[in-house]
Chain A
């Protein structure tokens, strides 16, 4: 039985005086038990909508979602018992209460007895490195510490499936590294994890498979290695003071996707073959252009290549 089984899932949002907005359009996804599944996509792509439907806080317009065999609409209680949820951002804690009191409350909400709560809360605080600050008010915590407390909260019921929606936002590098170790540990323990992130490196490092979502559609589901190969094929070269005839020569090179002028005198060249970057650099240097920089595109630029150009606008 798959941990997550999503079939033809659609979610529409009503807009006052306008057309309905389609946040998810016919999404199909199956995540087997024990898999860490990365969900990548730009803002407004539908990642959070998908997480909310899985976690039962949002009803689908059509289609079905099953968590460990339980339907999120008709068997909500069983789904809630099987799931741990960590939504991104700083919010979600009772700031006047201590870290320990917060976790104790959430453990109670998941039905743990008082005795089990005490043991579980202590164990989780230690696991996320907050045992030394357990009796301090959550409101006094840094963003990264709050995020760690959120993670602990998501784990109070020892869930079979864990939804992590942008879990490392605001974490410092050390905490993010510890978080990754924790995810590996959970996977080794058999927990299924759906992880949404903007960070391709994070997705690649943590996930067994990665799905790319854009405009409410799942564009592809691949192993991180395959996505990594796709990404590494794309590079860009920025240069200043490029004469027009050199630009034309570069545009004609094999593997050059685009040559465009950005911010006045800056020329940005995008390539989709590893050899093409070398050819572009050689052409620039041979033409006497010295102000040159080579870099990898960021995630959003990769989306442009993988899912087609639609500008950087966010749909909603």
Chain B
């Protein structure tokens, strides 16, 4: 367990350090305030100012998810192309734990999107969002961030193995955004589709974040927070198993260094 935590910490610190010198990565934040302005304009035009929280939460979660997909798709591939994957596998560090730590570190990139969205709403649209349950909001944001990294771990090995990884990577965001109720409340969907949405940690996270912004008391907050983490943990388990399987196969076939 200590070794796993150490690998996680190593990966997190390493990625945070790399992020600090990767200025290009920050361009992915540019879209968040523009999404906020667009969505806020739509809800304002429709006379649904009560949905303003969607305009702030959605761009933030979208930025988070897009960053996760980007890093999930490229982390292993870049190490492979850079001749580092073999060296990592040859070292005693737990590769899945290291990767999860790195993905969590990479998610730091998306955190400023929260602030940017809130600022854009206030400065441009004069819609200042109040966070009525700040502790819950922060806890949910953290839980969603960790679960996003965990889910990204499940995708990372898959992207290396899939022959058309790039297409999957580009196609995945929209179905996930819709099914998880990031953009549209899933309660508006037919029952069976809502049930599908409930399997995604993001749907629980998005709901909880919006509720944390609203003045009303939040029902079952702890349980819902637990669901976010539990579904994230499931993603991590699947991710860990997929990565171990990928490494075993690559070591067997001699394809660890092949790009």
Contact = CB atoms under 8 A, between A and B. Distances in A.
- Answer yes or no: are A and B bound together in one complex: yes
Interface of A: 11, 13-14, 49, 52, 55-59, 77, 80-81, 83, 85, 87, 89, 91-97, 101, 105-106, 108-111, 137, 153
Interface of B: 3, 6-7, 10, 13-14, 17-18, 21-22, 82-84, 86-93, 98, 251-254, 256
A150 to B, nearest CB: 9
Nearest to B82: A91
A108 B89 CA distance: 14
Contact of A97 (B3, B18, B93, B253): B18
Nearest to B248: A59
Given A13-B254, A92-B83, A111-B3, 8 more contacts: A14-B253, A55-B90, A80-B92, A85-B90, A94-B18, A109-B88, A109-B92, A109-B98
A52 B18 CA distance: 28
12 contacts: A57-B86, A58-B256, A59-B251, A85-B90, A92-B82, A92-B83, A93-B84, A97-B17, A97-B21, A110-B93, A111-B3, A153-B87
B254 A92 contact: no
Contacts of B86: 52, 55, 57, 87
B22 A96 contact: yes
A153 B87 CA distance: 10
A311 to B, nearest CB: 25
B89 A56 contact: yes
A105 B83 CA distance: 15
B160 to A, nearest CB: 15
* Residue of B22, B87, B89, B253 with highest tally of chain A CB at under 10 A: B87
Given A96-B18, A97-B17, A77 B253 contact: no
A111 B254 contact: no
A105 B256 contact: no
A93 B82 CA distance: 7
A49 B254 CA distance: 9
